[in-house]
Amino acid sequence: MHDPPKLSPGDLRIAAQILAAGSAFQDALKNDPAVAAQRQELCQAIGEAITEWGAIEGRLAEIYTFCITGAPRLAQGTTPAIAAFHAVINFNSGLAMANQAALWRLSKEYRTRWRTLQNKILRQAKHRNAIAHFSIGYEYNLAGKHISVYLSPHSYTFNEERPKSKFKLSGTNIREHTEFFRALEKEIMAFSVQIGAIPATPVGQLQEFAERLAGRLQDRKDKG
């Protein structure tokens, strides 16, 4: 190993000044109304994506609970299993739990379909992790114009597959991922209905529920 270069007191002062100037410029960017609006829009997109991914985790909890207990959602005695699933912080660990339970519970036909669904979940989980753990960055020219706000890996993150520039995520990129998350959640829900993890609700009951909900909303509007 090579020893790190030794810097003179003068070199250290210059380095400190450069860092201070960069920090001041970053602060000025954040206080600029146009940049602040872009940052707010980006953060809103991040929040929507993470919230939508939470719905996916909820669907996985339903599959896990059904495969462990044999009972559908909200049935008596299922609370301990669903609580145990949500107690696992790491997503991959939770998915592994659901996978093992599914392999034991489901028939061969459904196991094949589950593996396909699991692979989709794993692919989308990489995008979720990027959205959750990347840092906000600012791109601008020397004149301070054409500023854009985006998500990118931390400066120390190494990836040998793609250059760092490919990892920039704009608000539009994040919203596109959110739509994929939403579609995946619906696909998981449909699978859950097919295996019996979620009881199929007759169309008539859905219509009745929608009408009751509309009536309650109208009552609140009239009173309020």
**How far is residue 2 from each of residues 5, 6, 118, measured CA to CA in Å?**
9, 12, 46
16 located within any domain = no
51 located within any domain = yes
Number of domains in the chain: 1
Mean pLDDT on 46-65? 96
- Residue-level pLDDT at 161: 47
pLDDT digits (tens, 9 = 90+) for 188-221: 999 999 999 998 765 555 566 566 677 777 777 6
3 located within any domain = no
Give the integer Cα–Cα distance in Å for 137 and 148.
8
175-197: burial string, b at 16+ Cβ within 10 Å, e else: eebbebbbebbebbbebbeebbb
Query: Model-level pTM?
Result: 0.73
pLDDT at 180 over 90: yes
104 located within any domain = yes
Mean pLDDT on 147-170? 64
Query: Which residues make beta-bridge pairs with 136?
Result: 151
pLDDT band of 73, cuts 50, 70, 90: confident
The whole-chain average pLDDT of the chain stands at: 81
Q: How would DSSP label each residue in 13-36?
A: HHHHHHHHHHHHHHHHHHHSHHHH
Give the integer Cα–Cα distance in Å for 167 and 129.
12
97 located within any domain = yes
Question: Directed axis angle between helix 33-69 and helix 171-195, to 10°?
Answer: 10
pLDDT at 72 over 80: yes
Determine the structural domain holding residue 59 and report its residue range.
22-223
- Residue-level pLDDT at 102: 97
- Residue-level pLDDT at 149: 84
13 located within any domain = no
Least confident residue range of 27-31, 80-84, 87-91, 166-170 = 27-31
**How far is residue 105 from each of residues 70, 110, 122, measured CA to CA in Å?**
8, 10, 21
pLDDT digits (tens, 9 = 90+) for 15-52: 555 555 455 556 656 667 777 888 899 999 999 999 99
14 located within any domain = no
